[in-house]
Structure formats: C-alpha cells, structure tokens
Amino acid sequence: MPTTAKRLQKALAAVTSHYPRPVTPLADPPAGSGLKPVLGDDGIPFFGNTFEALSDPLKSAMQRFERYGPVSWSGSLNMNIVTLVGPEAVECAWMNRDKAFSSEQGWEPMIGPFFRRGIMLMDFAEHMHHRRIMQQAFSRPRLNGYLDLMTPHIEKSLANWDVRAGFPMYTQTKELLLSLASEVFVGSTLNADENHRLEKAFEAAVRGGQAIIRADVGNFTWARGLRGRELLQQYFRSEIPARRAGSGDDLFSVLCHSVDDEGNAFSDKDVVNHMIFVMMAAHDTSTIALSMMVHHLGRNPQWQQRLRDESLALGKDTLDYDDLSALPSMEPAFKETLRINAPVGMLFRKTVADTDILGHYVPAGTLIAIHPWATMLREEWWPNPTTWDPERFSPERREDKVHRFAWAPFGGGAHKCIGLYFGGMEVKSILHQMLLRFEWSVPADYTLDLEYGTGPTPADGLPIDIRRR
C-alpha cells in the first residue's frame, strides 16, 4: 500500500478509536424519574454535525438553542455531544453540585496528549489540592512581581513596532505576548536561537489540540504538537534544579517554590506539567483579548479617546498594579470585548454519573460542550447583543446582573480561570502604553474575518491603521 494511503488509514483509525461509539439518541430518562429527555439530532451519517460545529461553532450553538432550547444533543463523529447555552445551563456544569462533570475527561480528547496533568485536566479533590498550591503563584505580591518583569519588555517592544496602515494587530500581539511569556513565565536566560526553539515548540503544542487529523503521523499538526510537548518537557525538567536553588520572580521559579497553607508543594513532574499548561492557558486567550480590544477601540474612536484621556490623566508612562483601578473606562471596555469575542468560546466536560441539567436527563459518559460565548450573545440576556457597548456595564445599567453567569468569559466554579487578574493586568498594561504612544482606526470597509481556534480568532492578522501620536 502506498505510504500516503497507509498514513490516511492510520489517521482514520486513530480518529475512530477516539470516538468509538455509534451515534444513538441520548438514553430516555428512567421511568418515574420525572426528568425530560434531551432533544437533538444526529446530523449526517458517521460525521454527524461535526463540520457545522467545527466551521462555525457559534452559529451551530445558536441554532441548537433556537431549535431545542438550552440543553440539546447532537451527533458528532460517532458520539453524542450535549451543548449547553444560557446562564442556567452553564451554571449546572460549572457548579457541578453532584460531582457528575469531569473536566479531565471532557478536555482529554481535545488537548490531552499535549496538556495532560495540567490543572484543568484534573478533577475534584486532586484538582483542589493542586489549585491551592498554584493559587500562591497568582497572589497579589506575585502579580506585582510579574508586572515588574513585563513593563520594560512592553516598552521596548512597542518602541520597535513598525506602525503603519494595515498593521497586523493580531499577529503582532501574538509575537509580543510570546516574547513576554519568555520573560514572565520562563524568566528565560536563553539566547535568541534557543528562545525561538522554545517558542516554536510551545506554539506547536498549542496548535496540536486544534488538529483535524488526530494521530501521530507524518509532520501533521498533531505530530508536531507531540514533538513540541516533548521539547518543552525536556527544557523545563532540565531547568528545575537551578530554579529550585534560585529565587526568581518568574512564574516557573515561583511554581518551584509554591507551598500551600499546609506545606504541600509541587513535585518536579507537577511543575513541568503545570508550566506547559499555564503558558497555553494564558497565551491565545490574552492575545485574542488584547487584539480584539484594540480593534473595537479602532472602530469606536470616542471610546479610544476616553481611555486615552484617562491614561494621560494618570500622568505615568507605565502602570503599577494599583493604577489599574484608576483607569475607570478600561474595565468595561475589556469586559465588553470578552463578551463579544470570548477567547475561550466553548469548554468541555464529560459526565461521570447520570445527572440532570435543568430537568433533562443526561446519562454518564456524555461529552458536554459548555458555551459561554453563545450565552453572552443571546438576546434573552443581553439587549442588542452584537453591539460593542461598554456602557452596558455602567452602574446605571449593569446588564450583567441579569444572572451571575450571563457574563462568564472566565468560566465558573472550581475551574474558573486562575489567571483572570493576570490576564487583565497584562492587557491593560499594554493598552495603556499603546494609548499614550499611538492612535489607530479600522478602515470603514473592513469586515472582520474570524476563524475558530480556542475561541473566535482573527484569520487575517487583524489589520488596523496605526500611527504614532
């Protein structure tokens, strides 16, 4: 058999072994339980609704919500997925009151080989144990330390930006945040070549989870991701003795020294796994948040000027942590951007026990797709949901108050984003410096071109017209 055919056969076998069950409708509720069945459909044979869900997950979730309500099932590559849209439905899975939802088993088929034993791929008591230790690395004094590492690097990078019409904001943000990660997360003393190798390995591991062919064949995305993971593992492992002996302020050193209130610390293996996962969790999310916020401010010049006036009034070129609260318009603009462009659009869980979601029976072993992005764009909870309008978070309006999970770009419950203050600090520090140095706009005829990565991701580099002030 020609090699390519063999490879394809191997890839297909790997895909189908990942999703071994035939599609059958979700089981009916047990007699007398008083529960309702979940409504849904199995799409086309074998592939189910996979293509529609992959090509436009927002549209697909919106249509399911309109057709079947907040809890619906769909067939996808030989398995059933239950989609949750709306604050009450997502709350059930996030709050996990009956411990029926496993994050580890939900995320494993998506990103397991690259991010196994990362904190999001742990459950219940073990997860809580690790989270308590990790929390030490996100305390207020630690955030101050990360900001001190970040600030000079941001200043240097922005000074070197070749700003112009059609500046690719997403691409540049990605590059900036990747190099910032080397400083803040790794505290790297590597030379430029080694640094580049590490960045490439990291990117490959992140992309791995988004591969279509989910098998270790050829030089496809999945295989490159596995090699990236291997290289990261080797690097972090080899560096641990030096980090344990030192007292750096970077996240890697901090994780080596983190101890919870009972004196528990991470093993070397834990540190490696957590480092790789946290870098991934931080990267695409902050890149989407910052570049999309710049885009919206380019489209809304009065808001851009309002933020700039506040930054000018502060009278400082760079931000300290305490200054974040002195820029009142920055927070609602950030929140509104995360609502419209949720960087993590969809989250996964798997049921490990029979459970009910809003009175619907969901059997054990069901994959669950939680949809904060669709939730934040539904008219049922948000007036004019597609309009970027930070005033909706003003004290007079507080539209987010409609439900505690109506605005939930950072998730909720035990796995709620541990880096939410870090992410806000990073985005706002960069934006403050941008507002003081540059002015920008989005060409009137520009149409946003989004593809789906971890969330809605600019597919064309996100051009903006930017100039120095």
Q: Rule CB under 6 A: which residues touch ligand HEM?
A: 103, 119-120, 131, 278, 281-282, 285-286, 289, 338, 343-344, 347, 409-411, 415, 417-419, 422-423
Inter-CA distances, 230 with 202, 204, 227, 453, Å: 10, 11, 5, 22
- DSSP class per residue in 80-135: EEEEE-SHHHHHHHHH-TTS-EEHHHHHHHHHHHHHTTSGGG--HHHHHHHHHHHH
Q: How far is the CB of 113 from ligand HEM (least distance, A)?
A: 17
Q: How far is the CB of 34 from ligand HEM (least distance, A)?
A: 29
Task: Give the number of residues written for the chain.
Answer: 469
The order of strands in the sheet holding 71-76 is 39-41, 71-76, 79-84, 367-370, 347-351, 101-102
Chain-centre distance for alpha carbon 377: 17
Q: How far is the CB of 164 from ligand HEM (least distance, A)?
A: 27
Q: How far is the CB of 247 from ligand HEM (least distance, A)?
A: 20
Is the Cβ of residue 198 or residue 278 nearer to ligand HEM in the bound state? 278
Q: How far is the CB of 96 from ligand HEM (least distance, A)?
A: 10
Contact 375, 406 (CB under 8 A): yes
Is the Cβ of residue 360 or residue 415 nearer to ligand HEM in the bound state? 415
- The CB-nearest residue to ligand HEM is 419
For residue 467, what are its two tokens?
């100039």
Is the Cβ of residue 289 or residue 462 nearer to ligand HEM in the bound state? 289
Nearest-angstrom CA–CA distance, 31 and 299: 55
Q: How far is the CB of 286 from ligand HEM (least distance, A)?
A: 5
Nearest-angstrom CA–CA distance, 289 and 429: 13
Enumerate the H helices of 300-366 as residue ranges.
301-314, 330-340
Contact 421, 143 (CB under 8 A): yes
* Triad 247, 281, 333: Cα angle to 5°: 105
Q: Which residues of 97-130 are buried (b: 16+ CB within 10 A; e: fewer)?
A: eeebbbbbbbbbbbbbbbbbbbbbbbbeeebeeb
Enumerate the H helices of 218-262 as residue ranges.
221-245, 251-257
Is the Cβ of residue 11 or residue 346 nearer to ligand HEM in the bound state? 346
What does the DSSP 8-state code read for residue 393? G
Is the Cβ of residue 11 or residue 100 nearer to ligand HEM in the bound state? 100
Is the Cβ of residue 29 or residue 86 nearer to ligand HEM in the bound state? 86
Is the Cβ of residue 243 or residue 350 nearer to ligand HEM in the bound state? 350
Is the Cβ of residue 101 or residue 361 nearer to ligand HEM in the bound state? 101
Contact 100, 354 (CB under 8 A): yes
For the beta carbon of residue 45, count every other beta carbon within 10 angstroms.
9
Q: Is 351 helix (H, G, I), strand (E, B) or coil?
A: strand
Q: How far is the CB of 339 from ligand HEM (least distance, A)?
A: 11
What does the DSSP 8-state code read for residue 441? E
Q: How far is the CB of 14 from ligand HEM (least distance, A)?
A: 24
**Spatial CB neighbours of 383, under 8 Å, sequence gap ≥ 6:** 392, 399
Is the Cβ of residue 29 or residue 70 nearer to ligand HEM in the bound state? 70
Contact 57, 346 (CB under 8 A): yes
Q: How far is the CB of 217 from ligand HEM (least distance, A)?
A: 28
**Spatial CB neighbours of 407, under 8 Å, sequence gap ≥ 6:** 335, 338, 339, 376, 400
Type of residue numbered 331: E
Is the Cβ of residue 406 or residue 417 nearer to ligand HEM in the bound state? 417
Contact 307, 436 (CB under 8 A): no
Is the Cβ of residue 82 or residue 344 nearer to ligand HEM in the bound state? 344
Q: How far is the CB of 344 from ligand HEM (least distance, A)?
A: 4
Is the Cβ of residue 227 or residue 335 nearer to ligand HEM in the bound state? 335
